[in-house]
Amino acid sequence: MAVNDVSIKFRNTSACESVTFAVRQESSVAIVGSSGSGKTSLLLVLAGLLRPASGDVTVLGKSLWGASRRARTSARRKHLGYVAQFSDLIPELTLLENVAMPLRLLGVPFTRAREISPHKMDQLGVARMSTRFPDEVSGGEMQRAAIARSLVHDPAVVLADEPTGALDEDNRNLVMHELLVAARTSGSAVVVVTHDAQLASAADSVLHMNDGRLSPPTK
Ligand SMILES: Nc1ncnc2c1ncn2[C@@H]1O[C@H](COP(=O)(O)OP(=O)(O)OP(=O)(O)O)[C@@H](O)[C@H]1O
Ligand SMILES: [Mg+2]
């Protein structure tokens, strides 16, 4: 994934200014920075969910923001996994149905999606909660289910916004491991926004955001 000169504006406030960086397949980048520095806004642009005021993002060499909405939606379904900062599991679906959703959107038959999804849930330690609804599990369990959902279709790019925010140390390690394994074994490009210094240091490089601008990589 390449991010080229992205600027983001909300009315007259600027949330990001001229952000440029690239994440190779099979590698990971952590973005750190203080609250309000523009991390979530930037990730939304990378996820194809927020149109930048200027600049573009390419996924597997193809423009995300120069494409039609239909092409962007298709690229998102096929190539992107996204973990939102706050749980966005669908309340009317069980955890298993939530995790299986990206596969269903890609046309994978129901029975097959139901076979693949528990495996990913197991890796994140939430297989036992398959038949529960989001309001019947803890915040950390929701977060791990959301991570399973972002990885279930082996996307080329995984974007995770504070994926360890609600987790204890063991589960932080588990999530960090699964995200980095996705980079190494599935060949994904992984971008993780985090306040967690341990998670950041496990990534291949760390970018610092300060008031909407990136300072040079530290690793
Ligand atoms: N929808 C919006 N409308 C107007 N301003 C917004 C909107 N979303 C974010 N902002 C502003 O843009 C700036 C960046 O917000 P953003 O959510 O990207 O920060 P962040 O780095 O993710 O912060 P945190 O660490 O608290 O999650 C902030 O000043 C915020 O108030
Ligand atoms: Mg944020």
Residues with CB under 5 A from ligand 2 (ion): 39-40, 85
**169 C-alpha vs ligand 1 centroid, how far in Å?**
27
Among the bound ligands, the one closest to the CA of 36 = 1
- 194 alpha carbon – ligand 2 mean position (Å): 9
C-alpha pair distances (Å), 120 with each of 25, 91, 95, 146, 199:
21, 20, 12, 11, 20
Q: Which amino acid is at 136?
A: E
User: With 80 as the cut, is the pLDDT of residue 217 above it?
Assistant: no
Question: Which residue(s) pair with 159 in the sheet?
Answer: 82, 191
Give Cα 50 to chain centroid, integer Å. 14
Ligand 1 centre distance from Cα of residue 37 (Å): 7
**Residue 30 Cα to ligand 1 middle (Å):** 18
Q: What is the mean pLDDT of the chain?
A: 94
Q: Whose CA is nearest to atom 28 of ligand 1?
A: 36
> How many Cβ atoms sit within 10 Å of the Cβ of residue 12?
5
**In the predicted model, what is the mean pLDDT of residues 38-56?**
97
Pocket probe mutation, ligand 1, options 8, 11, 13, max atoms within 8 Å of Cβ: 13
pLDDT at 168 over 90: no
Cβ-Cβ contacts under 8 Å for 190 (sequence gap 6 or more): 23, 27, 28, 29, 157, 158, 160, 179, 180, 182, 183, 203
Query: Do the Cβ atoms of 62 and 75 come closer than 8 Å?
Result: yes
Q: Residue range 181-186: average pLDDT?
A: 82
Say if residue 99's pLDDT is above 90: yes
Confidence at residue 195, expressed as pLDDT on a 0 to 100 scale? 86
- Closest residue (by CA) to atom 17 of ligand 1? 40
For residue 15, what pLDDT is reported?
A: 96
Which ligand 1 atom sits closest to the C-alpha of 212?
A: 14
Does 10 have pLDDT greater than 90?
A: yes
Task: Give the ligand at the shortest distance from the Cα of 42.
Answer: 1
Q: CB of 37 closer than 6 A to ligand 1? A: yes
Report the percentage of the chain scoring pLDDT > 70.
98
pTM: 0.95
User: What pLDDT shows up at residue 219?
Assistant: 59
Q: Does ligand 1 lie within 6 Å of residue 35's CB atom?
A: yes
Cβ neighbours of residue 173 under 8 Å, at least 6 residues apart?
none
Cβ of 44 below 6 Å from ligand 1 = no
Which region among 82-86, 126-130, 142-146, 212-216 has the lowest average model confidence (pLDDT)? 212-216
Res 218: pLDDT: 60
